[in-house]
Amino acid sequence: MKSIAPSELIINNRGAIYHLDLRPEELANTIITVGDPDRVKAISRHFDRIDYQRQHREFITHTGWIGKKQISVVSTGIGPDNIDIVMNELDALANINFDTRTIRPELTSLSIFRIGTSGSLQADIPVDGFVAGTHGLGIDNLLNFYRLEQNEEEQQLLQAFLTQTQVHNQFTQPYISSAAGSLLKHFVDGYHSGITVTCPGFYGPQGRVLRLGLSNPDLVDRLTDFRFGQYRITNFEMETSAIYGLGRLLGHQCLSLNAIVANRVVKEFSKDGQAAVEKLIEKTLGIIAGI
Ligand code: R1P
Ligand code: URA
C-alpha cells in the first residue's frame, strides 16, 4: 500500500500528530470534543483516573477513565476550519499506521460526542436548555471541499432548506449530514432535538448586528421559520455540521450536544452559562459512561 508523504501526514519528533500532538496510544475510542480549552478540565475532573494530558496551541487533550470506559476529551477551539484539523487527525491516530504511513487494513469507528454551547432559534427552547442535533446543516462550506453524499431524506431536507431560506444564492452551498442514530437514541430525556445549523462566524454569519450591516438581515427569521415535515431548526453554532460530515466520510459515529446560552428569538442570554454547561457535562457523561 502507498505510504502517505511527510508533507501530508505530519508526525513530530515525539511520534505525535502535528496539531493535536497526540500519539496513537494516547487516544481513546470514545472522544468528547469541546470548543473551549478550559472545558477539557471541567470534563476530566469527572474522570476516575487521567492517563495522558497533552496541549499544543488550542488543542488540549485529557485521556482517562470513567469506570470501565476510556474517554479522551479534546478541545477544538472555535469553528469548522479547526474541525477539519481535529477530525482528520483523530482519524489518522485511529486508522493510519504511523510507522509505515499506511492506512490500517482494519478500520476503527470512533464514537465522537461534541459538548458545546449554542444559540436557540426557537422561542420554546430556552436558555440553559440542552439540544441534541439530529442533523448538522452547514452554511460554512467546509464539506464542499470533500465528496459528501446525502441520502434521499437529507437531499429533500436540503432542497426544502434552499427553497425556503434562499441562503445559497448569497454566500454558501449548504450541506447536511445526520447524527449517528445509534448514539442519538440514548439522548432523549432532557434534551430537545432538531436540526443544528453550523455557521462560519458568530456575528454576521449568525445575524448579529453590532456596527456592521448584513447581506441577509432576515437570516435568523428564515432559519426559525424553516419547516420540513417533522423537522425544524432548533439552534446554531460553529462546529456540528463539520463534525457530522467528516465523521460520516471517515466512518465515525458522531453526536453534537449543546447547552443553549442565547435565545435569538426572545433575545435572552443565560445568566449563568457555565452552570448550564456543567449540568450538560454531568448529564451527558452519565449517559456516555453507560453506553
Ligand atoms: C462561540 O462562542 C463558540 O461557542 C460555541 C460555538 O460553536 C463556537 O465554538 O461552541 P463551544 O462553546 O463549544 O466553543
Ligand atoms: N455559540 C454560538 O455559536 N452562538 C451562540 O449564539 C451561542 C453560542
Domain map (residue ranges) of the chain:
24-290
Quick one: CA torsion of 32, 33, 38, 43, rounded to 10 degrees? -10
- Closest by alpha carbon to 41, among 288, 244, 281, 286? 281
pLDDT in tens, 110-126: 999 999 999 999 999 99
Which tens digits make up the pLDDT trace of 251-264? Answer: 999 999 999 999 99
Ligand 2 centroid to residue 84 C-alpha, Å: 19
Return the residue whose CA atom lies nearest to atom 2 of ligand 1.
202
Write the pLDDT tens digit of every residue in 73-99. 999 999 999 999 999 999 999 999 999
Ligand closest in space to the Cα of 81? 1
198-228: pLDDT as tens digits: 999 999 999 999 999 999 999 999 999 999 9
Of all protein residues, whose CA lies closest to atom 9 belonging to ligand 1?
Answer: 78
Mutate to test the pocket of ligand 1, among 139, 239, 261, 280 (most ligand atoms within 8 A of CB): 239
Average pLDDT over residues 150-155: 96
As a whole number of angstroms, the longest Cα–Cα distance in the chain is 56
Ligand 1: distance of its center to the CA of 71 in Å? 21
Res 14: pLDDT: 98
CA of 239, closest atom in ligand 1: 7
Measured in angstroms, how far is the CA atom of residue 131 from the centroid of ligand 1? Answer: 14
- pLDDT given for residue 1 in this prediction: 77
Residues having CB closer than 6 A to ligand 1 are 34-36, 78, 116-117, 202, 237-239
Residue 170, classified by CB atoms within 10 Å of its CB into exposed (0-12), middle (13-18) or buried (19+), is exposed
CA-nearest residue for atom 5, ligand 2, is: 119
Phi (first) and psi of residue 90, to 5 degrees:
-60, -45
Tell whether the model's pLDDT for residue 15 goes beyond 80. Answer: yes
Q: Which residue has the higher pLDDT, 167 or 278?
A: 278
CA of 238 from ligand 1 middle (Å) equals 6
Q: How far apart are CA 49 and CA 66, in angstroms?
A: 7
Residue nearest atom 3 in ligand 1 by C-alpha distance: 78
pLDDT of residue 166: 85
DSSP 8-state assignment for residue 112? E
Residue located via cell numbers 477544538: 76
**Residue 172: its pLDDT value, please?**
87
Strands 102-103 and 96-97: antiparallel
Nearest ligand 2 atom to the CA of 117 is 8
pLDDT at residue 169 greater than cutoff 90 = no
Ligand nearest to the CA of 206: 2
Tell how far the Cα of 82 is from the centroid of ligand 2, in angstroms: 16
If you take atom 1 of ligand 2, which residue's CA is the nearest one?
Answer: 118
The backbone torsions φ and ψ at residue 100, rounded to the nearest 5 degrees and listed phi first, read -95, -10
Q: Is the dihedral of CA 25, 44, 113, 225 positive or negative?
A: negative
- pLDDT(168) > 90: no
Q: What is the pLDDT of residue 167?
A: 85
Report the topology of domain 24-290: Rossmann fold (3.40.50)
- Mean pLDDT calculated for residue range 52-65: 98
Q: Please give the torsion angle defined by the CA atoms of residues 122, 116, 95 and 82, in that order, rounded to the nearest 10 degrees.
A: 90
